[in-house]
Amino acid sequence: MTKTLLRQPHIPVTDPEAGLRITEIFYSLQGEALTSGLPTIFVRLTGCPLRCVYCDTEYAFTGGERQSLETIIETIKSYPCKRICVTGGEPLAQPNAIELIKRLLSDNYEISLETAGALTVANVPPAVSKVMDIKTPSSGEADRNLWSNLDYLTPNDQLKFVIMNRADYDWSKTMLKEYNLEKRVATVWFSPMFNVVDDADPKSASPEVPALARELAEWILADALPVRFQLQLHKIIWADAKGK
């Protein structure tokens, strides 16, 4: 299957009416979490209050174009898919994101929400699968973790730790045990920080895979952790290209 078949072009967002500021809406394969590999419509909202050192969507911090919720939904309906990922930036930084989600749920869309975990998830409808980060020390934003969010997690949700080194791994392992995280959500993901170009592992059968990935896999096995290892599929397929 070619890249063209896997991904369809962006539809421009041009409606000037205020509703949400959108960086992009596109149709691709989900690259991570429980729906990895499935065709998905991505709605990327603009803006984020965090500045993680490994962020791969800095282009979504500013800019974007405002459009009404009606226009966003019209764009979504133009794609042949009922699965949506609302992402950013940080989508919860825009209050109207919750209203958009509610309208999409009423249209029978299956929705996941990618959030950094620094803003409350209390108002996210329970039908949504929250994919929430817990920021590790090396991210530079660990002090922004809103631990009260754990009270709003359900078996429909997922947690993600992005690991940059052994210290991050040991810290994440401690948090996993301290908060009994594997009992709170469907899955806890441990992912290596993934810079395709700089971190390629010359010993790997797949040269795009970061060297840290092998180490993280071995640490998880050695400790028999109740987590799932994850690589970002879209980075293996399309490297760090925007909008993938």
**Residue 220 pLDDT > 60:** yes
The predicted model gives 36-54 an average pLDDT of: 96
Does 164 reside within a domain?
yes
What CATH number does the domain containing 224 carry? Answer: 3.20.20.70
Higher-confidence position of 194 and 197: 194
pLDDT tens sequence across 73-109: 999 999 999 999 999 999 999 989 999 999 999 999 9
Does 244 reside within a domain?
no
**Residue 168 pLDDT > 70:** yes
Does 242 reside within a domain?
no
Higher-confidence position of 180 and 205: 180
Number of domains in the chain: 1
Residue 89: cis peptide before it, omega within 30 degrees of 0: yes
Does 17 reside within a domain?
yes
Does 237 reside within a domain?
no
Q: Helix 166-178 to helix 211-223 angle, to the nearest 10 degrees? A: 40
* 3-class state of residue 163 by DSSP: strand
User: Model confidence at 232, in pLDDT bands (50, 70, 90)?
Assistant: confident
Q: Quote the domain boundaries for residue 158.
A: 3-232
Does 18 reside within a domain?
yes
Does 131 reside within a domain?
yes
Per-residue model confidence (pLDDT) at position 194: 75
Supply the pTM of this predicted model: 0.86
